[in-house]
Amino acid sequence: MMKSKFLVSTVTYLILACALPSLASARDLMVVGFGGGFQDNARKHLFQGYATEKGVKVTDDVYNGEIAKLYSMVKSGDITFDVIMVEAPEMVRACEDGVLEKLDWSLINKDKFIPGGASTCGAGAVGWGVSLFYDQARTPQGPANYADLWNVQKFPGKRSLRSGAKMTMEIALMADGVPMADVYKVLATPDGQKRAFAKLDELKPHIVWWKSGAQPLQLVGSGEVAYAVGYVGRTIKATEGGAKYPIQWNTLLFSFDYWSVVRNSPNKAEAMKLVNYMTDEKPLMNLAQDWAVSPATASVANNPEVIKKNPGMVASHSKEGLFISTDFWVENGADLEAKFNAWVAK
């Protein structure tokens, strides 16, 4: 009796185990982004908007841009993400490396984007930027530019920067007096890279590195660091919540994130349709009511009402800031990130 029960349960288990992989393909559509307030609002207007309209289930998750997750997914064949938000140079490299699907422009309207918004594997999502900020409640008069950020005598206390070469190298050169327009010209030369690292050496003992976008706000909010370079959207949201973090627009570095579809996604067609929906005018206009979004969809980005309502749109400050060169980082990203990591470990 015992034996037959055991046999039955074993066989049932084995059948279930065999059936599981095929069940996996029937999972909900999974969207992955960088989290924060943007994602909370995107969930309401973009993900759930699509879910309601099409009668499908959409779930979402958060990552910190660790693109390697996609590489291991594609390599192992266990694809758990469908649509993913990716920074521009990472999108281009992942596309070359074959971990993102080429977008199907018969399902996505290619003409709605601002210039550069439609790429082989990426549909322009939103503009984002980082800028220098500090808590005026603690420091009434903080650093006004990156040269000031390096002045530890005048502005004592720790500083927080994003852990990685991208943006940090540009900031170091600007702090060393390189004009914004020449940053990538200088950074493309070996001497320029040495100069950036030498400048970073000066500030290294005073830097606390952050990884996820929520950290700079926590670090400044708790007084652990005095000044930080963090995402503009989140800083503005904190300001609306009562914090006194003035944005220094002259320290802006900005770029665009893209929506991409993970290679061999079991929900490929559905994922492409979701990308098309998320870049459509109507849901983005709804999103713009709640969040200072800076979309890559031309009709929303150029809508005077949206621009007026969201003074923090990075697109409105593009003249003051530095556009993070996608071409430069596609070409040099792998080398500089490796060098940066070796440097940071020493």
Q: Footprint of another protein on this chain (CB under 8 A)?
A: 66-69, 71, 93-99, 102, 158, 163, 197, 204, 207-209, 222-224, 263, 331-332, 334-335, 337-339, 341-346
Q: How far is the CB of 113 from another protein (least distance, A)?
A: 22
Distance, in Å, from the CA atom of 284 to the CA atom of 292, rounded to the nearest integer, reads 11
Q: How far is the CB of 326 from another protein (least distance, A)?
A: 14
Residue 251 in contact with residue 150, Cβ under 8 Å?
Answer: no
Q: How far is the CB of 336 from another protein (least distance, A)?
A: 10
Task: Please identify, using beta-carbon distances, which residue of 40 and 96 lies nearer to another protein.
Answer: 96
Q: Half-sphere exposure of 155 toward its Cβ, with a 13 Å CA cutoff?
A: 25
Distance, in Å, from the CA atom of 245 to the CA atom of 330, rounded to the nearest integer, reads 33
CA 275 to the chain's CA centroid = 16
Alpha helices per DSSP H over 25-135? 36-42, 48-54, 68-76, 88-96
Task: Please identify, using beta-carbon distances, which residue of 122 and 295 lies nearer to another protein.
Answer: 122
Nearest to 79 by CA among 47, 101, 97: 101
Q: How far is the CB of 219 from another protein (least distance, A)?
A: 9
Residue 97 in contact with residue 334, Cβ under 8 Å?
Answer: no
Q: How far is the CB of 183 from another protein (least distance, A)?
A: 19
Nearest to 281 by CA among 45, 19, 77: 45
Task: Please identify, using beta-carbon distances, which residue of 6 and 209 lies nearer to another protein.
Answer: 209
Q: How far is the CB of 337 from another protein (least distance, A)?
A: 6
Task: Please identify, using beta-carbon distances, which residue of 57 and 204 lies nearer to another protein.
Answer: 204
Which stretches of 4-146 are assigned E, i.e. beta strand? 29-33, 58-62, 83-87, 123-134
Write the CB contacts of 152 (distance below 8 Å, at least 6 apart in sequence).
203, 206
Task: Please identify, using beta-carbon distances, which residue of 229 and 288 lies nearer to another protein.
Answer: 229
Write the CB contacts of 272 (distance below 8 Å, at least 6 apart in sequence).
101, 103, 104, 107, 108, 261
Q: How far is the CB of 46 from another protein (least distance, A)?
A: 27
Task: Please identify, using beta-carbon distances, which residue of 101 and 170 lies nearer to another protein.
Answer: 101
Both tokens assigned to 48: 């759930």
Task: Please identify, using beta-carbon distances, which residue of 146 and 210 lies nearer to another protein.
Answer: 210
Q: How far is the CB of 284 from another protein (least distance, A)?
A: 29
Give backbone dihedrals phi and psi of 161, rounded to 5 degrees, phi first. Answer: -125, 160
Task: Please identify, using beta-carbon distances, which residue of 102 and 309 lies nearer to another protein.
Answer: 102
Task: Please identify, using beta-carbon distances, which residue of 75 and 319 lies nearer to another protein.
Answer: 75
- What are the b/e assignments for 144-160, b being 16+ CB within 10 Å? eebebbbeeeebeebbb
Look at phi and psi of residue 167 and say left if phi exceeds 0, alpha if psi is from -120 to 50, else beta.
left
Q: How far is the CB of 205 from another protein (least distance, A)?
A: 9
